């Protein structure tokens, strides 16, 4: 069941992020701080955190937010599926939920950035297979030899009202 994240999800989200091995320890600490800040802000933010749980176990998480000073452009900062639940359609279900939610509100574009390293090949393939196209590459962005690749999706036009 995909739902809005609550403060009670905090530890499970950090455990999921650690289990994916996509984050360095310092990045996991930053993720924890982002979650804390989000819950402190309450309704004062347009950022969205979603979780998907199954029988009380956190299966996936997504975090997306509007790009400041743009009209209808959003960033998908995080989508992660527990390693034991990958390749079961949970990531696609979460991504579809994000896309549908944004399209429903008339948003225009969804961006996602990822690493250009070999160990992120499956991540880039996931985005390409789900309607994203490579928009740009910034060489050596994250570190020497580690490119940043930005993917873009034009959101469907399904605004309510």
Q: What is the CATH number of the domain that holds 60?
A: 3.40.630.30
- Measure the CA–CA gap between 61 and 58, rounded to whole angstroms: 8
Return mean pLDDT, the chain: 92
As given in the structure block, the two tokens for residue 126 are 């996931």
pLDDT at 74 over 90: yes
**160 in any annotated domain:** no
**pLDDT number for residue 87:** 87
Q: Which of 26, 138, 126 is nearest to 76 (CA)?
A: 126
- Residue 157 DSSP SS3: coil
pLDDT at 46 over 70: yes
Q: What are phi and psi of 74, to 5 degrees?
A: -125, 155
**pLDDT number for residue 24:** 81
Cβ within 8 Å of residue 144, ≥6 positions away = none
- As a dihedral over the C-alpha atoms of residue 134, residue 135, residue 138, residue 142, rounded to 10 degrees, the angle is -60
Q: What is the mean pLDDT of residues 79-87?
A: 91
- Whole-model pTM: value is 0.91
**pLDDT number for residue 42:** 77
Q: What is the mean pLDDT of residues 86-100?
A: 95
For strand 109-115 and strand 57-66, is the pairing parallel, antiparallel, or unpaired?
unpaired
- Residue 31 DSSP SS3: helix
Number of domains in the chain: 1
Q: What is the mean pLDDT of residues 39-64?
A: 90
Q: What is the mean pLDDT of residues 148-159?
A: 90
**148 in any annotated domain:** yes
Q: What is the mean pLDDT of residues 45-61?
A: 92
**159 in any annotated domain:** no
pLDDT at 160 over 60: no
For strand 146-154 and strand 57-66, is the pairing parallel, antiparallel, or unpaired?
unpaired
**133 in any annotated domain:** yes
Find the domain containing 114 and state its range: 2-154
pLDDT at 90 over 60: yes
């Amino acid at each position: 069941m995909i739902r809005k994240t609550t403060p009670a999800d905090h530890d499970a989200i950090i455990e999921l992020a650690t289990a994916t091995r996509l984050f360095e320890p310092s990045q996991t600490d930053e993720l924890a701080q982002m979650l804390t800040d989000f819950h402190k802000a309450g309704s004062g933010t347009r950022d969205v955190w979603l979780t998907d749980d199954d029988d009380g176990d956190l299966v996936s998480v997504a975090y997306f937010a509007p790009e400041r000073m743009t009209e209808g452009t959003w960033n998908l900062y995080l989508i992660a599926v527990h390693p034991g639940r990958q390749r079961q359609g949970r990531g696609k279900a979460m991504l579809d939920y994000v896309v549908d939610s944004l399209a429903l509100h008339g948003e225009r574009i969804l961006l996602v950035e990822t690493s250009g390293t070999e160990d992120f090949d499956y991540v880039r393939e996931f985005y390409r297979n789900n309607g994203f196209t490579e928009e740009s590459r910034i060489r050596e962005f994250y570190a020497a030899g580690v490119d940043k690749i930005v993917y873009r999706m034009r959101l469907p036009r399904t605004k309510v009202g």
